[in-house]
Structure 1
Amino acid sequence: MTVPIVPGFHPDPSICRVGDTYYLANSSFEYVPGVPIRRSTDLVTWELLGHALTRPSQLPPGDGAANTGIYAPTLRYHDGRFHLVTTNILEAHRGHLIVTAEDPAGPWSDPVHVRGTDGIDPDLCWDDAGVCHLTWTSFRPERPGITSVPIDPATGAMLAEPRPLWNGTGLAAPEGPHLYRVDGWWYLLLAEGGTERGHAVTIARARRLEGPYEPAPSNPILTHRSTTHPVQNTGHADLVECADGSWAMVYLGVRPRGKTPQFHVNGRETFLAGVDWVDGWPVVAEDRFPVAAADNSFTDGFATAELHPRWVAPGAAPETRWSGPGELVLTRTLLTRALDEHWTAVARLDVSHGTAAFVVRIDDRHWYGLTADGSTVTATLAIGPIVHAVTNVAAGSAVSLRIRALQPPASGPFREVTEPDLVELSVLRDDGRAEVLGTFDGRYLSTEVAAGFTGRMIGVEVLGGSVALQEFRYTTGR
């Protein structure tokens, strides 16, 4: 599998099935609304329904600091309701939070917190007696590692003392637990090795949920570590039984490019594999589901006041005012995910009443952008502590700005490609001419440089006053 089923910054996938329909949730970190929810009937093509965490009562506003906010969720369906459990790392002292809904498109309930469960990567499952069990990666020094406890999901009350389960095969950072009941066994799926190049999926089983757990003889059951596979960092998986009785796995991976150590720019993406059960253990068939490269192009003319769920903002929900078709007034940042290796984005802006930057960013310390103030457009690069205005050109208050992620040419004595891509910043003139202000090395907008858990976002940052975003076009490829 080399093509993601959900491209761009969509890590930590969790999946469940209801009848013939599958539902998928992903981490969202500092971006709000939180936890995107998707629907599919074939596991390959997915429709974005909305988000689970859309209100301040569910996700209190923050300052949008990089790599904070909502960590890995688990999405499950039980007794007629969808249940989602996740961690707001800014409120980790309150424990994991659980929200529920009859319809995954929402609305979702206000959260119930399970106090005393400091850590990340919570999972929910129900035993044969209908008791709900919360399992997570504990950060408590008195009980570190994979921990589980029966709970009342309606109140968050623990029904017993937490107990350790299985901390993996000995690799670094055992996390991402999911429990499943299959053919009289309890299976515990883990991510190990860290979410970088050593990432792997391992599994163990026990007759009782409490253990003891026996590791699979073929562990890890999925990893691309120490290979030249174009998809790396594979791990943090979740299993689902399909409508026809077969099984599948979703997992995260990255697509690094350029010269060693290589650089991935769009974050951790969601991939799909088949699963066979052989002698009581899952065997991963990575190429079972053919996934063709999708055309992710879209144009948003803001014809109505309702924002498409693709739009998010760091720290708090987007602040917009709709004054008519093609007039979305912004007072703060509005972003969407980069979905392709190579793409073109164009924003048509009116900056008569403010100043705005059209940006591609990993976080607020790593971004390239075009700042429009009504008289000039300035190309600026931010790489860590260095913020450098490269050049500027004259432009009025109505501007069309373009950012492209381009495939770099081979160069150097060995004709290798050193960068993951080249980022081009341009002003589009009324006569159709593109005035290029510069083309820059894309590696500085990669996770390997910026660090963290997110990926590239594209959009408009309001630097002062208010601006009107009249149209946004995103095109797959050049």
Structure 2
Amino acid sequence: MNLPNPLIPGFNPDPSCVLVDGTYYLVTSSFEYLPGLPIYRSTDFVTWEHIGNVATREEQAGIGHSPAGAGVWAPTIRHHKGRFHVIVSVTASPRGCVVFTADDPAGPWSDGISIDGIVGIDPDLAWDETGAAYVTYSALELDGVKQVGFHGIRQARVDLDAGKVLEEPRSLWSGTGLAAPEAPHLYRRDGYWYLFIAEGGTGSGHSVSVARGRSLKGPFEGAPDNPVLSASGRHLPVQCTGHADLVPGPHGTDVLVLLGTRQAGAASPLGRETYVTAVEWADGWPQPAPVDLRPRPEPVDEHFGFTDDRALTDPGWLAVGRIPAEVASGGERPGHLTIRATSGGIDAFRPDFVGRRQRHLKSLFETTIDPADGRGGLGLRFSEDFTIALIAERTPSGTGTRVTARACLPTMTQNSAAELADGPVLLRLETDTPPPGTTPWSPNGDLIRLTAVDATGTETRLAEFDGRFWSVETAAPFTGRVVGMFGEHGTVHFSDFRYHGKGLS
């Protein structure tokens, strides 16, 4: 199987996929970011287009006050009687377990109906032979993001229109005894219902296990060789493989879409990405192949010029806890995107920040900022506690531009600054793989370089950082790097934004 891997690169965890009339639709988690629940479409399982997002308004997700790492977790996408359904748990939010529906997965999607009585995460949606709907989920009880109880894998019949549980939730097969049984998905095949789950936690022990039974309600018998897929303890290029969804593949055989991480040195800077692996069946049990790493060879170039108020219509833009259009606007100054700083810089709880996912280990982000009326710049965010920023502002004398490189960790902030010529300044953030000779066991991560180019064309390198501190292992286990423009004080204007991902990385 020569499909590209990662299938959907960058911060795209917890994938779920459905095949409808020859077209694949895939959704991933989005946590505290909006718009939420990105939808990708493909007809060949190779080329994927980001066609929209399920939650395009804060009211749909209710994450205005959700902390980093909470919010929109682990969706499932399914198609039933001509309608698409996405079911998801929204943590640290009054929304809870929510079902969204749409006739077209590109949107618009419904406001969503919360299902009272489903207390947990990672909900799956399935219909039995009579058309009755069932939600199967991991019964993790949370107070905000703090675990207060756990009851394994559970299931209940539900009324999707009324948002009600119609029976007392029952306990199902909850794995082999590894930690954190979660991410259940049900499928009917050859007279059996198969229950796939994740075990071992979402880190290095992440695994896929499976059971089967004659009824959707169980009882379920575990596979003799569980877990059927895991990278734990193996020197494989893709680690943390789990949270899998089964779908018919493009060549007539089944595949699993699942999450995984790839390393740059000792760290995974891009977060949990969407991968794919082939599945063979033997004696009625699935046998997934190990997950290979096959990055796409072609480079990716994206350039956004901000000439009108439609500057942020591309579905790949993200903001924290609110939609990008509430943070930035086009048209206020001709040819520019304007950000008015009201919340603080990129390290604020709800920063005035709009960005895009980093999708390559070798990447370049650039923007040109006019800081005449304020202070702001180009920043990398893993969470509000783990950020990197290039900050531009007028010098106190008003005769030049000061650019500061700032790296923030929970216990440390490092600054370095330079004074450049007056006027707009190009800010550049580059990432690169570790130096030659670095092994996966070396204590280094990728390299992050910060550069400024002033109005005269003079280029100044301000800082270089070890990227392991802005990675899954150190910063935030659930999300990934998002890089973009922010305001820190007053009003700042940006004339363009560029992303370049370099080929095989």
Call closer, same or farther: CA 1:114–1:330 in 2, change over 3 Å.
same
The CA deviation at 1:64 is 5.7
Alignment pair present for 1:429 and 2:454? yes
Name the counterpart of 2:398. Answer: none
Name the counterpart of 1:338. Answer: 358
Name the counterpart of 2:349. Answer: none
3-state SS, counterpart of residue 88 of structure 1:
strand
| Alpha carbons 1:44, 1:291 under 8 Å: kept | no
C-alpha distance in 2, partners of 1:200/1:298? 35
| Alpha carbons 1:7, 1:270 under 8 Å: kept | yes
Q: Bigger shift: 278-287 or 188-197?
A: 278-287
Q: What amino acid does structure 2 have at the position aligned with 1:389?
A: N
The CA deviation at 1:18 is 0.5
Name the counterpart of 1:393. Answer: 419
C-alpha distance in 2, partners of 1:451/1:291? 24
3-state SS, counterpart of residue 211 of structure 1:
coil
- In the TM superposition, what whole-angstrom CA distance separates every residue of 1:417-447 from its partner, at most 9, and x where no partner exists? 5422111111023454421011111111112
3-state SS, counterpart of residue 450 of structure 1:
coil
| Alpha carbons 1:19, 1:243 under 8 Å: kept | no
- In the TM superposition, what whole-angstrom CA distance separates every residue of 1:325-364 from its partner, at most 9, and x where no partner exists? 6311123210111000111111111222221131112111
- The partner residue of 1:59 within 45, 58, 61 is 61
The CA deviation at 1:44 is 2.0
C-alpha distance in 2, partners of 1:447/1:416? 16
The CA deviation at 1:2 is 8.1
Name the counterpart of 1:383. Answer: 409
C-alpha distance in 2, partners of 1:40/1:341? 24
The CA deviation at 1:85 is 0.5
C-alpha distance in 2, partners of 1:65/1:359? 19
Name the counterpart of 1:224. Answer: 231
Name the counterpart of 2:344. Answer: none
Call closer, same or farther: CA 1:415–1:30 in 2, change over 3 Å.
closer
Call closer, same or farther: CA 1:5–1:293 in 2, change over 3 Å.
farther
Q: What amino acid does structure 2 have at the position aligned with 1:346?
A: E
Call closer, same or farther: CA 1:327–1:142 in 2, change over 3 Å.
closer
The CA deviation at 1:295 is 2.2
Alignment pair present for 1:328 and 2:337? yes
- The partner residue of 2:444 within 419, 423, 426 is 419
| Alpha carbons 1:378, 1:389 under 8 Å: kept | yes
- In the TM superposition, what whole-angstrom CA distance separates every residue of 1:312-334 from its partner, at most 9, and x where no partner exists? 10111112221176311123210
Name the counterpart of 1:176. Answer: 183
Q: Bigger shift: 48-57 or 80-89?
A: 48-57
The CA deviation at 1:452 is 2.9
Name the counterpart of 2:86. Answer: 84
Call closer, same or farther: CA 1:29–1:392 in 2, change over 3 Å.
same
C-alpha distance in 2, partners of 1:253/1:60? 28
C-alpha distance in 1, partners of 2:162/2:211? 30
TM score, norm. by length of structure 2: 0.89
Q: Taking every aligned residue pair, what percent have the same amino acid on both sides?
A: 41
- The partner residue of 1:148 within 155, 161, 181 is 155
- In the TM superposition, what whole-angstrom CA distance separates every residue of 1:452-476 from its partner, at most 9, and x where no partner exists? 3111110112112222221111111
| Alpha carbons 1:365, 1:382 under 8 Å: kept | yes
Name the counterpart of 1:74. Answer: 76
Name the counterpart of 2:464. Answer: 439
| Alpha carbons 1:190, 1:236 under 8 Å: kept | yes
Alignment pair present for 1:246 and 2:271? no
| Alpha carbons 1:27, 1:71 under 8 Å: kept | yes
C-alpha distance in 1, partners of 2:496/2:485? 11
C-alpha distance in 2, partners of 1:120/1:160? 18
3-state SS, counterpart of residue 74 of structure 2:
coil
Alignment of 1:76-155 (within 5 A): 76-91=78-93, 94-140=95-141, 144-155=151-162
- In the TM superposition, what whole-angstrom CA distance separates every residue of 1:38-64 from its partner, at most 9, and x where no partner exists? 000111221001100011321235246
The CA deviation at 1:290 is 6.7
Name the counterpart of 2:26. Answer: 24
Q: CA RMSD in A?
A: 2.3
Q: What number of residue pairs does the alignment pair up?
A: 473
Call closer, same or farther: CA 1:349–1:272 in 2, change over 3 Å.
same
Q: What amino acid does structure 1 have at the position aligned with 2:215?
A: R
Call closer, same or farther: CA 1:472–1:193 in 2, change over 3 Å.
same
Alignment pair present for 1:470 and 2:490? no
Call closer, same or farther: CA 1:393–1:415 in 2, change over 3 Å.
farther
Structure 2: give runs of 5+ residues left out of the alignment: 142-147, 341-351, 395-400
C-alpha distance in 2, partners of 1:194/1:433? 49
3-state SS, counterpart of residue 435 of structure 1:
strand
Q: Bigger shift: 366-375 or 23-32?
A: 366-375
C-alpha distance in 1, partners of 2:115/2:380? 37
C-alpha distance in 2, partners of 1:221/1:450? 30
